[in-house]
Structure 1
Amino acid sequence: MLPEDVLPLRGRVSAVNIKLTKCGGLRAALDMITVARRAGLGVMLGCKTESSLGVTAMAQLAPLADWLDLDGHLDLEGDPFTGAMIDRGRIVLPGDPGLGARPCTDSQHIWEK
């Protein structure tokens, strides 16, 4: 789904579920949120299976959403990144510069393949 796909949904759905890897990145996700809000639609930010890098990136937009489903990294065995954590139902963003996600040192072998 792209930003231009949102407006035609007005009157057909009550909300859109925006997934970072499907929409093309943070800028496209932000554009989709803007269009959805102008169309009077609710916004959910979600993922199915995503690394901590993707979840941490999408979590930057969390204050703009009505609902969040950003726990896809919890089912990922061998997540090559660290980043956003979930603590008692809340997403906690890392304090490091940029997105805050960092490569895991214990999965360095992933980068060498």
Structure 2
Amino acid sequence: MGDDAISHYTYHIQATLIENKIVIQNYRNQAGRFILATNLLDEEIDLTANPHTALEQQKWTPELILKEYKSQQSTERGFRFIKDPLIALLLLSLLSAIALSQWSKEQSSL
């Protein structure tokens, strides 16, 4: 071929996005469904330790139960690494080595 050969192609896409509210609502209706069960509905809780509220006591409401549940998720994520089998095995091995070392020291001092 000569010098006029095509070396590459370039494509350009033009599109118009249209929000489909029905599809979006259907996905929202399917997302995030779970059940929280509690036996604390009739008990009062003391919120005086919470600086973000002016209430002294309040009843458990579904919204408050959900908020409390979600506030625990960050703690759970913080400890997720411990549930990893490899990390658990490494921790177990390390603790076993420490215990064996301590036991050996105690046996040699006898």
TM-score range, shorter chain: under 0.3
Structure with a larger share of its residues in helix: 2
Structure with a larger share of its residues in strand: 1
State the structure with more CA Rg. Answer: 2
Higher relative contact order (CA 8 A, sep 6+): 1
| TM-score normalised per structure 1 | 0.23
| TM-score normalised per structure 2 | 0.23
